[in-house]
């Protein structure tokens, strides 16, 4: 009888340890996906902020300007900002993805930057980014 109780105890303990290990693995996997979504949301927010500023400066007219302070990192990594006036879009490229946003104008400079302080100016109807 004592042997049966010991065997049942070992089986139940092994089952609980196995379930605990599976739970920890599932939790770690879900946290990995959460951080990826967080980086995507951060990149999208930066992209929308820049695209909105370009559109606002373009519609405000000659002489208008905006200074944008951007975060230094997305998910503890650097990122690059690309401007595509022919497509009327801004793109943020970060280490494991990218995000694009559209602007209301295509009259801005075609450039790439990793600056974190952007100065967006309207010079005679052409939007420059430095």
Domains in the chain: how many in total? 1
Residue 122 in this model has a pLDDT that exceeds 70: yes
Residue 36 has pLDDT above 90, yes or no: no
pLDDT, position 81 = 93
Give the pLDDT score at 64.
Answer: 94
Q: What is the span of the domain harbouring residue 33?
A: 2-129
Q: Of the candidates 104, 108, 105, which has an alpha carbon nearest to the alpha carbon of residue 123?
A: 108
Least confident of 8-17, 25-34, 51-60: 25-34
């Amino acid at each position: 009888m004592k042997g049966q109780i010991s065997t049942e105890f070992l089986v139940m303990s092994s089952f609980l340890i196995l379930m605990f290990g599976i739970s920890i693995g599932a939790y770690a996997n879900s946290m990995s996906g959460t951080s990826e979504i967080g980086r995507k949301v951060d990149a999208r927010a930066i992209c929308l902020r820049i695209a909105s500023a370009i559109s606002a400066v373009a519609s405000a007219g000659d002489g208008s300007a905006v200074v944008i302070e951007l975060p230094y990192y997305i998910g503890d990594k650097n990122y690059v900002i690309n401007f595509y006036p022919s497509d009327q879009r801004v793109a943020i490229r970060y280490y494991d993805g990218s995000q694009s946003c559209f602007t209301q104008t295509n009259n801005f400079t075609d450039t790439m930057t990793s600056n974190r302080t952007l100065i967006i100016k309207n010079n005679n109807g052409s939007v420059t980014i430095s």
